[in-house]
Amino acid sequence: MADKIEKTSDKHYEDKFEFPLWKLIKQRAEEKGISYAKAAPAVVAEYTKTIKYRDPEFEDKVIMARAEELNELGKKEEKLGIKFKDKKSK
C-alpha cells in the first residue's frame, strides 16, 4: 500500500465515494417513508446473501492465510526481542 499511495492525505479526501450498503439503506428508507434504522434490517438481510458468510471452506482459507501471515510477523518480532504474547495459541 505504501508504494501505491503517497504519504499525503488531502488528495484522497477529495475523492467522492459511497458505501454501497448505505446507499441501499437510504434508498429503502426513501421508498418506504421509514427511518434508516427501520430500513436497515431488510437491506442487511439481502446484502449478507452476497457475502460468503455461509461458505466455511472459503472462510477457512482466508482465515488460515491471514493467520499464517500473523504468525510470520510474530516470529519476526520475537527475533527482534519483542515478546509476542498470544498465550491462547495452541
Partner 1 sequence: MSLENIDPVLCNGCGICVDSCMVDVIRMDEENEKAVIQYPDDCMSCYFCQQDCPEEAMYVSEVKHPPLFVAWG
Partner 2 sequence: MTDDLTEIADKVIETDVLMIGGGVGGCCAVAKAKENGLDVTLIEKAHIDRSGSAGQGIDHYEGFFTRDGTTTLENVSNEDWRLGRYGVRYPNLNVKYRLYKCQFWVFEQLEKLGVPMRWDDGEPYWIPFPFVGWERRKTGLRVHWTNIKPILGRAVRRSGARILNRTMAIDLLTTDGKVVGATAVNIRTGEFIVIKAKATLIATGKLMRLYNPETPMPWKYKFRYHFCPASSAGDGYALVYRAGGDLVNMDINAWTFRIRDDLTCSYGSFSLNDGVPMKTYTWDGEEIINPNATRYKQLEDEGKTPIYFGFDHFSEDSHKRLEVAFADERMLSFKVAEERGFNPKTHRYELQDLSPTGFYRVSGIYIDENFRVLRGNEPIEGLYAFGDGSAGGTSGVAGAATGGLLLAEDLPEILKDMDEPEIDISQVEEHKQIALAPLAVEEGVEPLELESAIRDICERYVGMFKSEGKLREGLRRLGSLKDWLGKLSAESPHHITGYLECRNLLDLAEVHIKACIERKETRGNYFRSDYPEIDKDMDGKFFSQRIENGKEIIELREPIPLKPEYLKDAEEEKAELQTADAAS
Residues at the contact surface with partner 1, assessed by CB under 8 A: 1, 5, 7-9, 12-13, 29-30, 33-38
Cell 452476497: give the residue: 50
* Local structure of 15: helix, strand or coil: coil
Q: Residue 90, interface with partner 2 (CB under 8 A)?
A: yes
For residues 12 and 5, the answer to whether their CB atoms sit within 8 Å is yes
Q: Residue 29, interface with partner 2 (CB under 8 A)?
A: no
For residues 21 and 47, the answer to whether their CB atoms sit within 8 Å is yes
Q: Interface with partner 2 by CB under 8 A: which residues? A: 1-2, 5, 9, 12-22, 25, 36-38, 40-41, 43-45, 47-48, 50-54, 56, 58-60, 62-64, 66-67, 70, 73-74, 77, 82-90
